Structure 1
Amino acid sequence: MMTTSIRLPRQFRLTLSQSLTLIGLTITLSFIAIAFLAPTLQNIGWLQDPNEALANPIHEAPGADYWFGTTRQGYDVFARTLFGTQAALKVVVLATTLSLIIGVPLGLVSGYLGGKIDKVLIFFMDTIYTLPGLLLSVTLAFVVGQGVINAAIALSIAYIPQYYRIVRNHTTSVKTELFIEAAQAMGAPTSRILTRYLFFNVIQSVPVLFTLNAADAILILGGLGFLGLGLPPEVPEWGHDLRLALDALPLGIWWSATFPGLAMTILVTGLSLVGEGLGDMLNPGRKNN
């Protein structure tokens, strides 16, 4: 039995890719705006204090008074969901930026110099890379403790090998190019070759990796919060709220878990769409596959 595959016209496929990228960018920017506006909305009285429980902690269903309802403990789900956006973005931006700042230079040095430095770095990076991200983050969270900075450190270590590997592989290919050999022949110092000639020729995939790592970090941070290892309890965080909602689900309080879970899912989807769109723009060959 013969099967036929339907192949969309190239122009339509590009339009679809651009549309999905625009959707992802809109979602991501909307969450960034929410993170910035949440404290202002609270200050002007349009948003409940996320840590202020009702005087009589009786859960309220979503309605005019509480758009997303209240938790079993009496907290406003809408306020905690919005402030959870702020906490998630803080940790994720710190974690991905820290891993990029460490991983990219290590990849450049390792790929260009080679030798014993390259072998040692490959050994350590491959060891870290083989460990599941959530398992490594949980282990590190036990060591460093709770907090925004500590959570960012725990997450960043899991992503450093990814930046290292992709930059090192590109560096080993580019360093044999004629313009690099010409710079070496002219006596250019290693630091100048790395920063001026190699850096901008090997980082094409870094923005894509940064965005996709941010999406992954949202999920891992949620996992840490669900296990009680992410941020302190007084900081609104989606994973922590999902953990508190477990006891409420048998009582029919579905909204206390639904809205934080939806927020996490939508933001991860938006970041993933942006990452895929950047991949198409920075690597045109992918569009023809």
Structure 2
Amino acid sequence: MTTTRVRLPRQFRPTLSQSLTIIGLIITISCIAIALLAPTLQNIGWLQDPVEALANPIHEAPGADYWFGTTRQGYDVFSRTLFGTQAALKVVILATTISLILGVPLGLVSGYLGGRIDKVLLFFMDTIYTLPGLLLSVTLAFVVGKGVLNAALALSIAYVPQYYRIVRNHTTSVKTELFIEAAQAMGAPTSRILSRYLFFNVIQSVPVLFTLNAADAILILGGLGFLGLGLPPEVPEWGHDLRLALDALPTGIWWSATFPGLAMTTMVTGLSLVGEGLSDILNPGVKIR
């Protein structure tokens, strides 16, 4: 008996880019679900308290009792890894949202008005843009201190120039279009031109930048935590856990660093894949074939 293989028409076959985007979405949605469900899982007794050490601190290897093992300080690695997802999402969403709220309006105003305002803002933003993101975040973290909001503020400053530059460049191009000149000739106020005619024509790349910045922010937050500058010690955070695990690695406690590191890598990979997929969808003209 012979079997026939059903082949989908070419238009229904996912490309490699689409497949990677789907994988990225699955990873990202899974991370969000973990962050939302972690407190509930703890309340029903399926997760240990991430900030409560064992009564007799002793490191346990991964097994039936502790899936990811325990740290040398007696913390459950599985619980801290899951709650670390929640902390990362809080900081990253806040940081990227703050930078978007600041960068997009500044880019619109600078690109549309031009002149001295444009020169001053461009100089200021280019100065910030030339500084390495981690170095800038470390410096600001020293100033503002620890905490979710403070860490988000320290991260957001590094991303404001990126939103500003991409929106400003698009605005500079679009403001010479006929429909903008027609709105000006009809006496439309500047605020209306910016919000109604320009805004929706210059934000095509903002979702892509938002997603890629979120992936980058996770790495920088991990760096801040590793240096002891991110969140308070009582908040489960991957970078802080990696710092605690550093001294334990020579003693063979590999699991205390492996699982937080894998969680960070997985989340960054998922967001990066989503960002690349959005870039292909929103900017098909620059897609490499």
Q: TM-score, normalised by structure 2?
A: 0.95
Equivalent residue number for residue 86 of structure 1: 86
The answer (yes or no) to whether the contact 1:141–1:230 under 8 Å persists in 2 is yes
Percent identity of equivalent pairs: 91
Equivalent residue number for residue 5 of structure 1: none
Equivalent residue number for residue 72 of structure 2: 72
The answer (yes or no) to whether the contact 1:38–1:83 under 8 Å persists in 2 is yes
The CA distance in 2 between the partners of 1:214 and 1:143, in whole Å, is 22
Question: 1:286, CA displacement in angstroms?
Answer: 2.7
- Which structure 2 residues correspond to residues 253-268 of structure 1 after superposition, within 5 A? 253-268=253-268
Equivalent residue number for residue 122 of structure 1: 122
The CA distance in 1 between the partners of 2:24 and 2:199, in whole Å, is 28
Aligned residues: 280
Equivalent residue number for residue 272 of structure 2: 272
- Which structure 2 residues correspond to residues 214-229 of structure 1 after superposition, within 5 A? 214-229=214-229
The CA distance in 2 between the partners of 1:13 and 1:122, in whole Å, is 45
Question: 1:11, CA displacement in angstroms?
Answer: 7.1
Equivalent residue number for residue 59 of structure 1: 59
Equivalent residue number for residue 131 of structure 1: 131
The CA distance in 1 between the partners of 2:11 and 2:104, in whole Å, is 35
The answer (yes or no) to whether the contact 1:35–1:82 under 8 Å persists in 2 is yes
Equivalent residue number for residue 41 of structure 1: 41
Question: 1:287, CA displacement in angstroms?
Answer: 3.0
**Alignment root-mean-square deviation, CA:** 1.3
Unmatched segments (≥5 aa) in structure 2 = 1-9
Equivalent residue number for residue 194 of structure 1: 194
The CA distance in 2 between the partners of 1:23 and 1:36, in whole Å, is 20
Structure 1 runs of 4+ with >4 Å offset: 10-14
- Deviation string, structure 1 residues 81-134 (Cα, Å, up to 9, x no partner): 000000000000000000000000000000000001000000110000000000
The CA distance in 1 between the partners of 2:150 and 2:82, in whole Å, is 22
The answer (yes or no) to whether the contact 1:14–1:287 under 8 Å persists in 2 is no
Unmatched segments (≥5 aa) in structure 1 = 1-9
What is the one-letter code of the residue matched to 1:196?
Answer: R
The CA distance in 1 between the partners of 2:211 and 2:39, in whole Å, is 25
The CA distance in 2 between the partners of 1:60 and 1:30, in whole Å, is 27
SS at 1:164's partner residue? helix
What is the one-letter code of the residue matched to 2:140?
Answer: L
Question: 1:56, CA displacement in angstroms?
Answer: 1.0
- Which structure 2 residues correspond to residues 146-161 of structure 1 after superposition, within 5 A? 146-161=146-161
Equivalent residue number for residue 3 of structure 1: none
What is the one-letter code of the residue matched to 1:20?
Answer: L
The CA distance in 1 between the partners of 2:266 and 2:53, in whole Å, is 27
- Deviation string, structure 1 residues 4-51 (Cα, Å, up to 9, x no partner): xxxxxx979961111100000000000000000000000111100001
The answer (yes or no) to whether the contact 1:58–1:74 under 8 Å persists in 2 is yes
**Cα–Cα, structure 1 residues 288 and 140, in superposed 2: closer, same or farther, change >3 Å?**
closer
SS at 2:62's partner residue? coil
What is the one-letter code of the residue matched to 1:169?
Answer: N
